[in-house]
Structure 1
Amino acid sequence: MAVLALFAAACTAGPAPHAAPPAAARTSAARLSAALPDDPVRMVLPATGAETRWTQGLDVFVRQEARAAAASCAREHGIALPARAPVTFIRYYELPDLDFVARHGLSESAAVPAAGPAATGTGARGGIGDGGGSGESAAVRRCLAEGTGAATALRDTYAALQGRWFDTLVPLRHDPAVLRALRTLPGCLAGHGIRARDENGFFAVADTQEQTAAPDRLPAVERALGSAYADCMRPVEAVREPARLRLRARFLTDHAAEARTVRATLVPSLHRAARQHGLSLVFPAP
């Protein structure tokens, strides 16, 4: 399965920037939306950057389902689960959401709301595993496995189809029209004071600037980098987005039966999980 490029330090660094980017205007924090797409396949098979907001929300919901099912098991057995980092929205930079990036920077997003008590309560009582022995470890492993199983059951309703869709997008990286559009990137970035040979080079420069920025300057650096990236990638997305929409129309024709199943089952299964574990299905919004 193709793995979509998430924001990270790229492995091919371009030359260091010759000047720090100017501070971008301060903006309001990203919001949350509960609005579902008119067609659930847009949540599973995104073709535009804006549609990946639904995909990010779906990803977060499945991870929260895993934690909620594990927490329910832990309460039942009177044990506490290990602390874990908060769940966050993770962007898909192979389908960049340029309007969101321009407004909020490269990595800032809406905060994922805390799950309800049904999803988080793990208060221990007398019973299995008191005292921290091997019995507790076995119980913890069982509960974590139960959470993984619940998330897998939910994800399995769409994961195979989604994986094939992401594979379908890979050849666009080598499409002649896309490559021509990408050749405009170095000149545009130079106009923003950023020297980079390509998109990977830009991410390497961005990583360096973010790592070295003073804490009070980091938000401005993030927004300036996001503004530059969004501006310079718009000609690329002007080519890629229509191509992805055409590919999806063909993909849905070729996988009509699976698409019908997603349309019939995905949203009801999400609502059932939300009711069972006190979860909210929400999406980042500009």
Structure 2
Amino acid sequence: MARVIRCPVLVRTAVAAAAALLVTACSAGAGPDAPQGPSTAAVSTARVSHTLPDDPVRMVLPATGAETRWTQGLYVFGQQVTRAAAAECAREGGFALPEEIPLAFIRYFELPDLDFIRRHGLRASAEIPGPAPAAGTARTGTAAEVRRCRAQGTAAADALRGTYAELQGRWFSELVSLRQDPGTMRARRALPGCLAGQGVQARDEQTFMAVAQTREHRAAPADLARTEQELGRVYADCMRPVEAVRDPVRLRARAHFVTENAAEVRALRTALLPAVHRAERRYGLRMVFPTP
């Protein structure tokens, strides 16, 4: 089992081609908007899984919060390939790369994984198994050497991402457009009342996340784990009626998207998992996914 790690509640990042998607970035180190390092208090134990979906479409084009666990794993795997290929290049050159922060699963605000959040809190995820520290005392690489090896790492990951990134980017853009679905908008109207009934004054999800971050920053160290878990419970319980409406909308939209992009989806189904397995063998990796 892996210990729970913490992350900033809300940041923006580019995910494939859909920079408009909001995500929750989880890291074992301080994130972009974290003023201090992570808490060491555990909420509960999060685990990782190696079980792949029955259809890679569910990993690349997620339509539910639970499916994003596979999407998170695929994103991290690309980063692992980048680092492994760069490290191999450096070993061959007889030098060391600068140390980097631990890799992190990225949670998708547009597709909240309510079961995970309710159990572990808003900012918790599973720790990603990392490689053993490199032995020896290799010299530090020059700036040019480091750039060269990191470019090789990026190229190795791009070969994998090329099997899905463009299609995934279009799907994420489609997800953003579903914010205006009439049924979803009606379901969201009940959210402020539900949150208020749980002691949180917030007009929408974004406001709730800001309130949650403030409460967590103000919590005493001994109370942080309990605060995080309670906020996760409130969010998950109040968002369930919204997700009960949104999940069918997203699933129908994905079915239409798959039909409209049938040739690219066939190519994805043919190429992605073999590319993953080749990279696993080549760099001694194994894809992992967060799981409650």
The TM-score range, normalised by the shorter chain, is: 0.7 to 0.9
| 1:123 CA drift (Å) | 4.6
Shift of 1:7: 2.7
Tell me, in whole angstroms, the C-alpha distance in 1 between the residues paired with 2:62 and 2:216.
29
* Equivalent residue for 1:146, pick from 141, 147, 152: 152
Q: Find out whether 1:5 has 2:11 as its counterpart.
A: no
Secondary structure of the equivalent of 1:228?
Answer: helix
Shift of 1:121: 3.5
Cα drift, residue 63 of structure 1: 0.3
> Is this contact kept in 2: 1:62–1:155, CA < 8 A?
yes
Q: Secondary structure at the match of 2:125?
A: coil
Aligned match of 2:206: 200
In the alignment, what sits opposite 2:3? none
* Amino acid across the alignment from 1:108: A
Cα deviation, 1:239-268, whole Å, max 9, x if unaligned, reads 111000000001110111111111111111
1:233 to 235, 239, 245: 239
1:110 to 126, 130, 150: 126
Task: Verify the 8 A CA contact 1:47 1:245 in the aligned structure 2.
Answer: yes
2:85 matches 1:69: yes
Q: Do structure 1's residue 55 and structure 2's residue 71 form an aligned pair?
A: yes
Check the 8 A contact 1:80/1:122 in 2, yes or no: no
Indicate the RMSD between aligned Cα atoms, in angstroms: 1.6
Q: Please state if 1:283 is matched with 2:289.
A: yes
Q: How does the TM-score come out when normalised to structure 2?
A: 0.85
Q: 1:191 aligns with which of 177, 192, 197?
A: 197
2: CA distance, partners of 1:158 / 1:209: 39
Structure with more of its chain in strand, by fraction:
2
Instruction: Kindly provide the amino acid, as one letter, of the partner of residue 163 in structure 2.
Output: T
Describe how 1:3-152 pairs up with structure 2 within 5 A: 3=19, 4-7=21-24, 28-115=44-131, 121=134, 123=136, 125=138, 136-152=142-158
Structure 1 ranges of 4+ moved more than 3 A: 120-125
> How many matched pairs?
259
Show CA shifts across 1:101-140 (max 9, x none): 000000111110113x5xx647554xxxx5x6xx722111
Q: Distance in 2 between matches of 1:73 and 1:100?
A: 37
How many angstroms apart in 2 are the aligned matches of 1:253 and 1:165? 13
Contact 1:46 1:55 in 2 (8 A): yes
2:49, 2:288 within 8 Å by CA — same for their partners in 1? yes
Query: What TM-score does the superposition give when structure 1 sets the normalisation length?
Result: 0.87
Provide Cα deviations, 1:50-104, integer angstroms capped at 9, x if missing partner. 0000000001100010000000000000111011100011101100000110000
Q: Determine the structure 2 residue equivalent to 1:21.
A: none
1:28-57 Cα deviation digits (max 9, x unpaired)? 401111111000111000000000000000
Any gaps of 5 or more consecutive residues in structure 2?
1-16, 26-41
- Counterpart among 242, 266, 269 of residue 263 in structure 1: 269
Considering Cα pairs closer than 8 Å and 6+ residues apart, tell me whether 1 or 2 has the greater RCO. 1
Unaligned ranges ≥5, structure 1: 9-25
